[in-house]
């Protein structure tokens, strides 16, 4: 609820003054209560509240435990908090040179230079596949079903959550693509057949590329070169699995293919290249985030008439390099925000 200072400014009619609004926004963002914004906005925007919606298969992912789950969420929240606190560009949501890790999550990411269970800011190696939201374990888990990954689900998440694109639901007469849990075929192979239908291909040409780029990450956010399977396959050798015991039930199946081509014909060979392609259109990234902030702040869906307001929000934030904090200021200063 508004505190006495904010209520006092409202009673005096001062909140129509943009300078007063900016001061009040800054005051609230540095208050400890601003942690509720990170909690609730991340829960709504990124769907972090769905982290427990699925439970990873214990035979396929025995390394998943409660400590890893808690640290996954903590990484994302602390990452968002720093971007807000320092007014960093929203392009960091696509790629960044830092994240927040402890020893447990760092080992999960294949990093050995983080010791102890305290979650802290870590500068990532230059060629790291991590960085940004796309490759954080919490996001990768939310966009999987616990057993398999789907380029369709992950691609849709990227388009809707980060780029502001609306993805229409599939036609009712089109069957869903069900992953082969025995590992005889990959999801890419199954989607190839699915996309042979022209009506399906029109949407999948846009949806699938982000999902293909993320195929090197398993349902709990670990890196993989080969799929895990409960069918036939090679036993993982001791030391290859990211946990401390050699006996596991799963087998190593078919190799992962994370290559693809964007709808504009740009080829990529892994997530690193794909993130570079996304970063070519910074205004679209800013627009996608601005729309999410706008919906959260206004408390309703976007209308056609809101487009001009979003355009102004994005344009005014350009001089700050599309800073996340500045986007919040611009949402508050927008005309729809002041309307009853």
The domain segmentation of the chain, as residue ranges, is: 31-280
> What number is the average pLDDT over the span 37-52?
94
Q: pLDDT-derived band of residue 179, with 50, 70 and 90 as boundaries? A: low
Q: How confident is the model at residue 185, as a pLDDT?
A: 73
Q: pLDDT-derived band of residue 141, with 50, 70 and 90 as boundaries? A: very high
Strand partners, 123: 98
Compute the mean pLDDT over every residue in the chain, rounded to the nearest whole number. 90
Backbone angles phi, psi at 268, to 5 degrees: -140, 150
94-136: pLDDT as tens digits: 999 999 999 999 999 999 999 999 999 999 999 999 999 999 9
265-309: pLDDT as tens digits: 999 999 999 999 999 999 999 999 999 999 999 999 999 999 999
183-237: pLDDT as tens digits: 557 777 776 766 666 667 667 788 999 999 999 999 999 999 999 998 888 888 7
Backbone angles phi, psi at 98, to 5 degrees: -145, 165
Q: How confident is the model at residue 176, as a pLDDT?
A: 62
Neighbour count for residue 337 (Cβ, 10 Å): 15
Phi-psi region of 160 (alpha: psi -120 to 50; beta: other; left: phi over 0): alpha
Q: How confident is the model at residue 184, as a pLDDT?
A: 57
Distance CA 202, CA 220 (A): 30
- Contact of 198 with 137, CB cutoff 8 Å: no
Distance CA 116, CA 78 (A): 17
Q: pLDDT-derived band of residue 330, with 50, 70 and 90 as boundaries? A: very high
Quick check: 175 pLDDT over 90?
no
């Amino acid at each position: 609820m508004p505190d006495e200072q904010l209520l006092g400014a409202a009673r005096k009619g001062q909140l129509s003054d943009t300078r007063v609004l900016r001061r009040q926004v800054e005051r609230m963002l540095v208050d400890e209560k601003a942690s509720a914004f990170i909690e609730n906005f991340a829960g709504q925007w990124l769907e972090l509240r769905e982290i427990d919606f699925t439970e990873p298969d214990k035979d396929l992912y025995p390394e998943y435990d409660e400590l890893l789950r808690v640290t996954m969420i903590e990484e994302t929240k602390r990452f968002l908090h720093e971007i807000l606190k320092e007014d960093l560009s929203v392009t960091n949501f696509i790629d960044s040179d830092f994240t927040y890790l402890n020893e447990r999550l760092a080992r999960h990411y294949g990093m050995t230079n983080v010791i102890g269970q305290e979650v802290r800011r870590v500068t990532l190696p230059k060629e790291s596949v991590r960085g940004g939201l796309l490759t954080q374990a919490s996001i990768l888990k939310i966009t999987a079903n616990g057993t398999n990954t789907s380029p369709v689900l992950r691609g849709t998440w990227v388009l809707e959550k980060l780029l502001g694109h609306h993805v229409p639901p599939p036609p009712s007469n089109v069957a869903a693509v069900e992953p082969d849990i025995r590992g005889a075929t990959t999801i890419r192979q199954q989607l190839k057949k699915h996309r042979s239908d022209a009506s399906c291909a029109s949407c999948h040409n846009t949806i699938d590329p982000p999902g293909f780029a993320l195929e090197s990450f398993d349902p709990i956010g670990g890196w993989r070169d080969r799929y895990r399977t409960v069918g036939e396959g090679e036993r993982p050798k001791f030391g290859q699995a990211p946990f401390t015991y050699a006996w596991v039930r799963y087998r190593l199946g078919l190799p992962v293919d994370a290559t693809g081509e964007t709808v504009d014909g740009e080829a990529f060979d892994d997530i690193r290249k794909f993130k570079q392609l996304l970063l070519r259109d910074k205004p679209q990234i800013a627009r996608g985030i601005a729309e999410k902030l706008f919906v959260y702040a206004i408390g309703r869906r976007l209308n056609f008439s809101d487009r001009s307001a979003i355009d102004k929000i994005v344009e005014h934030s350009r001089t700050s390099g599309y800073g996340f904090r500045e986007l919040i200021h611009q949402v508050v200063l927008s005309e729809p925000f002041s309307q009853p």
